[in-house]
Amino acid sequence: MRNTTGRRIAVCDIARSDQPIRNKITKAVRTVIDKGRYILGQELNVFEKEFAEYNGSSYAIGVASGTEALQLSLKALGIGQGDEVITAVNTAIPTAMAILAAGARPRFVDVRADTFNIDVALIEKAITRNTKAILPVHLYGKICDIKAVLKIAKKYNLFVVEDACQAHGASCGGMKAGSFGRLGAFSFYPTKNLGCYGDGGMIVTNNKSLAERLRLLRNYGQNTRYSCKIKGVNSRLDEIQAAILRVKLKLLDQLNECRIELAHVYARYLQEIVDVDLPSYGKDLQHVFHLYVIKCKDKDGLKRYLLKKGIETEVHYPIPLHLQGAFRELGYKRGDFPCAEGLAHKILTLPMHPALKTQEVRKVCNHIKDFYRC
């Protein structure tokens, strides 16, 4: 690949990352077109088996998006009208939208300033008689304190549905994200560590009856063609996306290692800057760095400075969910979740993708150093 030092450095560059496997992807897509079967065919059937094996789960059910993976997971557990689901307040909007789409009510919990993940010490205070599930989010590619979540869930007889939409391949104690709770949901949105060329999602579980119910729910409730057993929806991962994902799944661990190595480069060059806090993670956790998010002083100033130098950055996420207009009816107000509100003013997402070069990361780091010297 050409020397890219002079080009704009993007937060995520899908075309560049996929360039080495473009011929394989084209061949996989052409195979589907030649067969002429686009929905619930062999590619999806095989990919579900391959993904379940990769994730250490018994079953995998392909659906149309990560949002619907969460929504259908809740519906499969019988969660709906009048029920509450606890989740982190700093996650992406689709997490809470999935809870609402299932007919339930989100109950937000603040997060930890060091991990960005849900503060398990605050979960029990959020539990009410209507609480039916905890939906922890493995944000940015790092598993939350899932063992503590499971302990609380067992104490109060609650379901655990993992939002692993940003954590493909992340692990804790050797177990993969999504394999701890009753159900785990993944997104294959193009920018994810394992992304397709459109929308797509997956649900994993070790429960056979839940897997069977989810296969009905995703396909209008049909057990056979024109025979509707339960009320369902249209939420199916199509054959072309499944074929693309089969190609990419084989490379997932390798590409995650690229991300981890780049994260080490960032840490090596940024660790001495007093105005920058780096991502933290425990020894038994494998963070797969879907995003590389720092905390920094004068985040907006740094963002503008880097853009002038040809370096793109983003904020994931600038507005905590309780301050979004769509969730106003939940009754939360500014100040209810001080940690998440404070983080929104400090966090900045730096470039991170498998095709990123070490010299590009060094360039980003050098400009960050220059900014704080000014």
User: pLDDT tens-digit profile of 307-333?
Assistant: 999 999 999 999 999 999 999 999 999
pLDDT in tens, 264-298: 999 999 999 999 999 987 778 999 999 999 999 99
**How many beta carbons lie within 10 A of that of residue 329, not counting itself?**
9
Domains in the chain: boundaries: 17-109+117-249, 252-373
| Sequence-ordered list of residues with C-beta below 8 angstroms from that of 336, at least 6 positions apart, any chain | 108, 322
- How confident is residue 2, by pLDDT bands cut at 50, 70 and 90? very low
**pLDDT attached to residue 6:** 62
- Assign a CATH topology to domain 17-109+117-249: Aspartate Aminotransferase; domain 2 (3.40.640)
Residue 179 has pLDDT above 70, yes or no: yes
pLDDT digits (tens, 9 = 90+) for 136-158: 999 999 999 999 999 999 999 99
Q: With bands split at pLDDT 50, 70 and 90, how would you rate the model's confidence at 3?
A: very low
Closest CA to 294 of 273, 324, 323: 273
Cα separation, 287 vs 90, whole angstroms:
18
Q: Give the pLDDT score at 7.
A: 83
Cα within 13 Å of Cα(283), Cβ side? 0
Structure-block tokens of residue 87 = 């989740």
Residue type present at position 344? A
Region 177-199: mean pLDDT is 98
Question: CATH number of the domain at 252-373, please?
Answer: 3.90.1150.10
Give the 3-state secondary structure percentages of the chain, helix then strand then coil, rounded to 5: 45, 15, 40
Give mean pLDDT, residues 11-37: 98
DSSP structure class, residue 311: B
Please state, in angstroms and as integers, the Cα–Cα distance from residue 187 to each residue in 78, 123, 198, 286, following that order.
Answer: 22, 25, 11, 19
Proportion of the chain above pLDDT 90, given as a percent: 95
For residue 1, pLDDT beyond 50: no
Q: Are 171 and 286 in contact (CB under 8 A)?
A: yes
Instruction: Give the tokens for residue 89.
Output: 């307040």
Phi, psi at 159, each rounded to 5°: -75, 155
Contact 292, 360 (CB under 8 A): no
CB 311 within 8 A of CB 351: yes
Query: 163 forms bridges with which residues in the sheet?
Result: 137, 185
pLDDT at 5: 46
DSSP state letters, 102-147? TT-EEEEE-B-TTT-SB-GGGHHHH--TTEEEEE-B-GGG---SHH
Q: What is the pLDDT of residue 95?
A: 98
pLDDT computed for residue 283 by the predictor: 77
pTM, entire model: 0.96
pLDDT band with cut points at 50, 70 and 90 for residue 374: confident
The yes-or-no verdict on residue 350 having pLDDT over 80 is: yes
pLDDT at 174: 94
pLDDT in tens, 238-249: 999 999 999 999
- Write out the two tokens for 336: 């209810």
What's the CA gap between 98 and 318, in Å, rounded?
20
Identify the pLDDT of residue 4. Answer: 41
Across the chain, what does the average pLDDT equal?
A: 96
Question: Is the bond leading into 317 cis (omega within 30 degrees of zero)?
Answer: yes
Region 103-112 average pLDDT: 98
